[in-house]
Every structure is written in C-alpha cells, then in structure tokens.
Structure 1
Amino acid sequence: MAQRDKIHDINFRQTVRRLLEERATWYNQSPSSNIKTYPVFDSEHDHYLLLDVGRENNKRVRSIVVYVRLEEDKIWVEEDWTDESIADALVEAGIPKSNIVLGFKPPELRPFTQFATS
C-alpha cells in the first residue's frame, strides 16, 4: 500500500470514529432515556457501529443505529437510522462523495444518489 493510501485510510478511520463518538455523546445526553448509545469500533477489520441498548416500554432494545465499514478507498454506510445522515456528516468533515457508498441502497438505485456506486 502506498504512503498516500495509508494516510487516506488513517484520515477515514479518524473521521468515522470522531463522528460516531460525537453522536454517541449527543444521544446519551438525555437524562430520562433508558437507552444508551455505544460506539463500537473494530479498527483491525474496519467496522464501526453505533448500538442502542436498553429498555423502552418494558421491551428490550438492541439495535444498530449506524454501521460503517471501510473497504479499499471507500467508506460504506451499511446502516443509518439517524435523522441527520452520517454520509452528509462525512462530506461536511471533508470526505469526498466519490469515496462514500450508501450500501443500504440497492445497487441499481445508487447511481441516482450523489455518492459513489461501489
């Protein structure tokens, strides 16, 4: 891997981690919530998640809020159940749209997004 690619990957990892940590902190500010949001990072395999865990209305809650993975030179957004798109936050943080794939969209619909197709 070229030095440029390593820097590219480090920037992607740092940006994804920072954005997910910020969102987890923000979501966990509600004192009345019985649900906690956890950032989960697997830097070795480049998988990054936000998980909601807790209880709501006497029911157990365990759900993936955001799931992002890095593959080659792309950031794949596999799940995004947030009101403010993680893909848009990545762009605002300086990641080019050409390096972001909305993996939760079917492949045939990806060309109609403003992001990479694969």
Structure 2
Amino acid sequence: MDRVEQYRNIVKQVLQRYYDLYQRMQDAETALLCDPAADQYQVIQTGWDAQQRRIYTTLHLSLKNGKIYIHSDPTEEGIANVLIEEGIPKADIILEYQAPTLRKYSGFAQA
C-alpha cells in the first residue's frame, strides 16, 4: 500500500472514532463525510439552535501532495497528535487552521 492510501485509511479510521464519540455525546445529528476521490474528510453536525438551523464542521482534513491538511480541529487533544500516534510524521501534517506565518513555530509541516 502506498503512503497516500495508508494516510487515507488512517484519516478515515481516526475520524470514525470521533464520529462515534460525537454521536453518543451530542444532541445534534452527526455525519462522517469521506470523499477519497477529492481527498476531503469531515465530521459535521447539524441541528437547531432555537429557530435557526445550524451546520457545524467539527473536523475537516484533506490530503494534498502527500500531506495531511487539518482545516478544522476543536478537539482538546488535537487531532494532529492522534495522527502522530497512528504513525504519521509531523513533516506530513499541516495545521491549515493556523496562519501561514505562525506555522513555522508549530513543529509541523508548513505546506
């Protein structure tokens, strides 16, 4: 299995764990969206806040040029740390939610 395919599998497995957790904990409806053709992976939540419909992108990751981009991550432990525990090196993880000028201080890839 090539590296990109391995990363796809790891991302899907990690997001599946978060999806399972959010489904048990939240009042909102949770969905796991995986599009391996576009290399986009998300956990979203939908629900109502009073009279207004809400849609939240809880976690959003993508793969591009052999690297994992983390676009959204509200988790306490940091999904980047979970990916490292799964064997993905810091050099292949980009904290996209951080400003490009700050990424050089993160210890992760800069893009």
TM-score, normalised on structure 1? 0.87
Match of residue 24 from structure 1: 19
Give TM-score, length-normalised by structure 2. Answer: 0.92
Instruction: Name the % identity.
Output: 28
Report the secondary structure of 2:72's partner residue.
strand
How far 1:57 sits from its partner (Å)? 4.3
Q: How far apart are 1:78 and its partner, in Å?
A: 1.0
Secondary structure of the residue aligned to 2:104 is helix
Partners of 1:95 and 1:59 in 2: how far apart? 39
Structure 1 residue ranges without an equivalent (≥5): 1-5
Q: Distance in 2 between the 1:37 and 1:85 partners?
A: 19
Counterpart of 2:74, as a letter, is W
**What residue identity is the alignment partner of 2:29?**
K
Over aligned residues, Cα RMSD in angstroms? 1.4
For residues 7-35 of structure 1, the C-alpha deviation after alignment (integer angstroms, 9 at most, x for no partner) is 101110000000001101011113xx430
Rg comparison, structure with higher value: 1
- Counterparts of 1:1-118 in structure 2, within 5 Å, are 7-30=2-25, 33-118=26-111
- Structure 1 residue 53 displacement after superposition: 0.8
